[in-house]
Amino acid sequence: MKTAIVTDSTAYIPKETRERLNIHMIPLSVIFGGEVYQEEVEITAADFYAEVKNRGELPTTSQPSVGKFVELFEELSKENDAVISVHLSSGISGTYNGAVSAGQMVDNIEVYAFDSEVSCMVQGFYAIEAAELAAEGKSPEEIMARLNEVKKTNQAYFMVDDLSHLQRGGRLSGAQAMIGSLLQVKPILHFVDKLIVPFEKIRTRKKAINRIYDLFDEVARAGEPMRAVIIHANRPDEAQQMKEELEAKYPHVEYSISYFGPVIGTHLGEGAMGLGWYKR
């Protein structure tokens, strides 16, 4: 049985990695003044942050159409019996539901949609695990079981410079009074039940990052094999510094640096930082 792996662009898996692991990518889009750009295909993260600066405003975002999923799944059915389609949290985007609907419309391939309940490279971890297992010839059921296992230790915490973008896009959940009181500080955010909610109220960026380190420490100090990713919204130097600090303290962890690309950057704004991990 041959299983193809699909993920969406918000995993921000580098093209070389996608090609090496045979991961197919379906893009989400950003819309600047009526012009639609498929991220990772027609607009890079660097171009996006430059464009936002130029225009002085953030765009809107949209999910792939069900038709695009059907097209991709039909193409994959020529050489595969099954597809595992890994997507950003269904609590913040309709992308996962689009994959589910398309799966019901195609006949020659079994579609297993997986709701990562997160996004960015933390979602990418699932697609990479799935691709590695598919290459070993594991069945779709075995791969899905492993992804559900990964979910038990997969965690991500992130902070934004300006919470108003998340609020404007309607992707911040939690009591309104609480959100109002957070607008002046640097709250740490995370996903609970597929939604983005404040985790803790912190006054400064430095303290927020140190608090995220503490949360990482609670897991990493056990010394077990882990993968971790530092994610930044146009702050590569800060991400590199975080990686070096973490590497020095927890050398047993496999680190990477990734970015909040156009779609996620639209909702978080420039300057956001995040850290995600799971036990291998």
| Conformational region of residue 144, where left means phi above 0, alpha means psi within -120 to 50, and beta covers everything else | alpha
Indicate which single residue of 216, 276, 277, 278 sits in contact with ligand MYR (rule: CB under 6 A): 276
Written as six digits, the tokens of 38 are 């498929």
> Min. distance of Cβ 122 from ligand MYR in angstroms?
5
> Min. distance of Cβ 54 from ligand MYR in angstroms?
22
> Min. distance of Cβ 271 from ligand MYR in angstroms?
14
Indicate which single residue of 4, 25, 28, 147 sits in contact with ligand MYR (rule: CB under 6 A): 28
Give the residue with the Cβ less far from ligand MYR, 3 or 10.
10
> Min. distance of Cβ 244 from ligand MYR in angstroms?
20
Number of residues binding to ligand MYR, judged by CB under 6 A: 22
HEC string for the chain: CCEEEEEEHHHCCCHHHHHHHCEEEECCEEEECCEEEEECCCECHHHHHHHHHHHCCCCEEECCCHHHHHHHHHHHHCCCCEEEEEECCCCCCCHHHHHHHHHHHCCCCEEEEEECCCCHHHHHHHHHHHHHHHHCCCCHHHHHHHHHHHHCCCEEEEECCCCHHHHHCCCCCCCHHHHHHHCCCCCEEEEECCEEEEEECCCCHHHHHHHHHHHHHHHHCCCCCEEEEEEECCCHHHHHHHHHHHHHHCCCEEEEEEECCHHHHHHHCCCCEEEEEEEC
Write the interaction track for ligand MYR spanning residues 183-222; mark x where CB under 6 A is met and - where it is not. ----------------------------------------
Indicate which single residue of 7, 9, 38, 63 sits in contact with ligand MYR (rule: CB under 6 A): 63
Angstrom distance (rounded) from CA 229 to CA 122: 7
> Min. distance of Cβ 169 from ligand MYR in angstroms?
6
Using Cβ positions, the residue closest to ligand MYR within the complex turns out to be 93
86 binds ligand MYR (CB under 6 A): no
163 binds ligand MYR (CB under 6 A): no
Give the residue with the Cβ less far from ligand MYR, 18 or 267.
267
Indicate which single residue of 25, 100, 122, 230 sits in contact with ligand MYR (rule: CB under 6 A): 122
Indicate which single residue of 26, 92, 113, 212 sits in contact with ligand MYR (rule: CB under 6 A): 92
Residues of the shown chain interacting with ligand MYR in the complex, contacts defined by CB under 6 A: 28, 61-63, 92-95, 118-120, 122, 156, 158, 171, 231, 263-264, 267-268, 274, 276
